[in-house]
Amino acid sequence: MNQINQPKIKYFIYCRKSSEAEDRQALSISSQIDENKKTAQINNLEIIEILEESKSAKHPGRPIFDRMLADIEKGKANGILVWNPNRISRNSIDTGRVIYLMDLGKLVEVRTPSQIFKDNPNDKFLLNLFCSQAKLENDNKGVDVKRGLRKKATMGYPSGLAKIGYLNDKTEEKGNRTWCDDPQRWPLVKAIFDRFATNKYSVRQLWLYAKNELHLTTPERKREGGKPISLSYLYSMLADPLYTGFFYQGGERYELNLKLTRMLTEDQYWINQKRLGKNGRPQPKKRKGVYNYFMQCGYCGGLTNPDFKFQLICPQCKYKFSYINRENCPNCGIKINEMNNPIYLEYVYYRGLKCRKHEHQECLNKSFEQRKIDETLVNYYTENLQISNELSEWCIKHIEELPDPELKNLEVINNAKENIEATIKKKLNRLLEERLRRDNLSQVEIELFDNQEQKLINELATTKKENSENNDRFDLEKVKKDFSLAAKIVDVIKNGTNDEKREALYVLCANLIFKNKNIDIISTKSITAVINGLKQAKAINSLFEPKNIKNLSDENEVFASVRPTLLISTLPVERFLSKIREFYPCIRGSFTPSFG
């Protein structure tokens, strides 16, 4: 930096301690002020203001520090006097802000009692290094603390203060302290759990009991405690599994140390949780439908919504009712858990949402039961897509053997297209950076930037559209998945879980449109090609049954007559029909295929 005509340096004294509590690190600020004042007096420094802050520098967002940098940017001062560089920053963002002000020449000097950092490359590097070391210390402390907490958890002690009913054992050395039973509060907490287990008291009644009769208070600590427990505190206590003998930390389950006495069994704990639910009230479970992800209304084009019905037929009075959140039959009053062989019924109906074209009108489609959708899909895929496992494996194997120069070069072509997109995006970023770098642009320059930006955006949109269209080609992996699923799709629809059905329909990319109690199934090009190939094979030989075929040898004349059709129909016909005779040697068998 040029030292000629350099203005006199005016300093902010910045003092910081990490803790916001008044009684922690109490002497830290005052000692920093004394040392900094002594440094200013010895070196005859001009001090503008002394700034004090009780805030951790681990993360950005310190109000006093931010105000100091803003005043430096305005020119009110051009120097900072601190006890140590780690008082300025322990994070990369604030460190970068300080060094950037030095780059601009608005911050001339950062001074400590033992070192001076001026606006030159070496000093800025050292300042950045010292602040980075402070950040490294913080990061290492975090790693060490987490390791210690995991070790303590494996010993059976959660991190933090002991829960009510237990105490931190202060007879041990700090860092090795464990827990012990609280002789004063443990019997009181146990009485609350015992009373709650009788199923005769609500949580609010238990709270009044603990407050007025037991006089249960939170443990007294240095700055808190000794007060009656609150209602929310009691809710969290009843929901805490620690009193059962286990706890969660970092997403993992740990067992409580055997030296600590349990207050209830794990079975009792889960019964309590069922009674509590969310905020102490039983809540119905969240359920996901299967076909609402794939099905649209044929009238309005809108989505569908699943409607779950869970009903029970009472064996005593034959009354049918919804059993969700009920304990008794609403007609005869008998308890559900005392019924002898009740009949449970479960239905899922799909209904169209509000019609988009006509507001405030219900969709013209009526509800559609999930069982009927299952039956429709089973019939459709049994007739059109289902093949045997042996035939599926044969198709996958021989498709891989088909030589296709375009398939070999497909990865190279796709990479080239991705590079073109990346190049256009880089140009857009450079254009934006250049625009932000310039100040006070004229109207002509603004229009020039706008035109260049719009040109690049249009070019990027065109490239993405072309790539999307070109990607709708033969995908070897996609065809292999289609054939693999074709052998088991019917079984998945019949016996699979909801998640398995959704996954299968995602692979098939099936779209369902329901209208007038009918369902139309729309498949992708690859699935349509497989279906058409199976139809063509059946037309060639009516005895060919894809779902039953197991003999794939040359002696099976039925299978031999349709093999070329099965392979060719799954590939883009316009690309491969002209080359079929050079592919023919890869198809096993001595027959001679004929093409119209």
Q: What pLDDT, on the 0 to 100 scale, is given for residue 188? A: 92
Task: For residues 68 and 125, state if they share a domain.
Answer: yes
Region 517-532: what's the mean pLDDT? 76
How many CB atoms sit inside 10 A of residue 100's CB?
14
Task: For residues 137 and 260, state if they share a domain.
Answer: no
Task: For residues 40 and 128, state if they share a domain.
Answer: yes
- List pLDDT tens digits, range 444-463: 877 888 888 888 888 888 87
- CATH number (domain holding residue 100): 3.40.50.1390
> How far is the C-alpha of 192 from the C-alpha of 207, rounded, in Å?
9
Is pLDDT at 588 greater than 50 in this prediction?
no
Q: Diameter of the chain by CA atoms?
A: 106
Single out the residue in 312, 343, 365 at which a domain terminates: 365
397 near 377, Cβ under 8 Å? Answer: no
Domain containing 430: what range?
Answer: 405-470
* b/e burial code for range 536-552 (CB count within 10 A of at least 16 → b): ebeebeeebebbebeeb
Rg (CA), the chain: 37
Is 375 within the bounds of a domain?
A: no
**Residue 182 contacts by C-beta under 8 Å, 6 or more apart in sequence?**
162, 164, 165, 166, 167, 219
Task: For residues 237 and 322, state if they share a domain.
Answer: no
Q: What pLDDT, on the 0 to 100 scale, is given for residue 12? A: 92
Is 391 within the bounds of a domain?
A: no
Task: For residues 15 and 130, state if they share a domain.
Answer: yes
Is pLDDT at 583 greater than 60 in this prediction?
no
Which of residues 412 and 332 earns the better pLDDT score? 332
Mean pLDDT, the chain, whole residue set: 77
Task: For residues 135 and 22, state if they share a domain.
Answer: yes
> How far is the C-alpha of 596 from the C-alpha of 587, rounded, in Å?
19
Single out the residue in 276, 302, 323 at which a domain terminates: 276
Is 245 within the bounds of a domain?
A: yes
Q: Which residue has the tokens 């005016």?
A: 10
- In this prediction, residue 355 has a pLDDT band, given cuts at 50, 70 and 90, of low
Q: What pLDDT, on the 0 to 100 scale, is given for residue 411? A: 53
DSSP 8-class letter at 9: P
Is 377 within the bounds of a domain?
A: no
Task: For residues 461 and 509, state if they share a domain.
Answer: no
- List pLDDT tens digits, range 459-507: 888 877 666 555 544 456 666 777 777 778 888 888 888 888 888 877 7
- List pLDDT tens digits, range 225-268: 888 889 888 988 998 889 988 888 877 888 888 888 899 888 88
| Closest to 180 in 3D by CA, of 260, 70, 75, 103 | 260
Is 388 within the bounds of a domain?
A: no
Task: For residues 225 and 184, state if they share a domain.
Answer: yes
Single out the residue in 230, 245, 276 at which a domain terminates: 276
Is 154 within the bounds of a domain?
A: no
522 near 312, Cβ under 8 Å? Answer: no
Give the strands of the sheet with 368-369, arranged side by side: 320-322, 304-313, 343-352, 368-369
Tell me whether strands 518-522 and 511-515 are parallel, antiparallel or unpaired: antiparallel
Task: For residues 494 and 458, state if they share a domain.
Answer: no
Q: What pLDDT, on the 0 to 100 scale, is given for residue 82? A: 92
Is 386 within the bounds of a domain?
A: no
- CATH number (domain holding residue 198): 3.90.1750.20
Is pLDDT at 212 greater than 70 in this prediction?
yes
| Counted domains in the chain | 5
Task: For residues 134 and 26, state if they share a domain.
Answer: yes
Task: For residues 268 and 337, state if they share a domain.
Answer: no
Element (H, E) at 70: helix 63-74
Is pLDDT at 530 greater than 60 in this prediction?
yes
403 near 586, Cβ under 8 Å? Answer: yes
Give the strands of the sheet with 79-81, arranged side by side: 46-54, 10-17, 79-81, 109-111, 116-118
Is 158 within the bounds of a domain?
A: no
Q: What pLDDT, on the 0 to 100 scale, is given for residue 398? A: 66
Which of residues 434 and 214 earns the better pLDDT score? 214
Q: Which residue has the tokens 């093409």?
A: 595
- List pLDDT tens digits, range 308-343: 888 889 988 999 988 887 888 998 888 887 888 888
Task: For residues 498 and 548, state if they share a domain.
Answer: yes
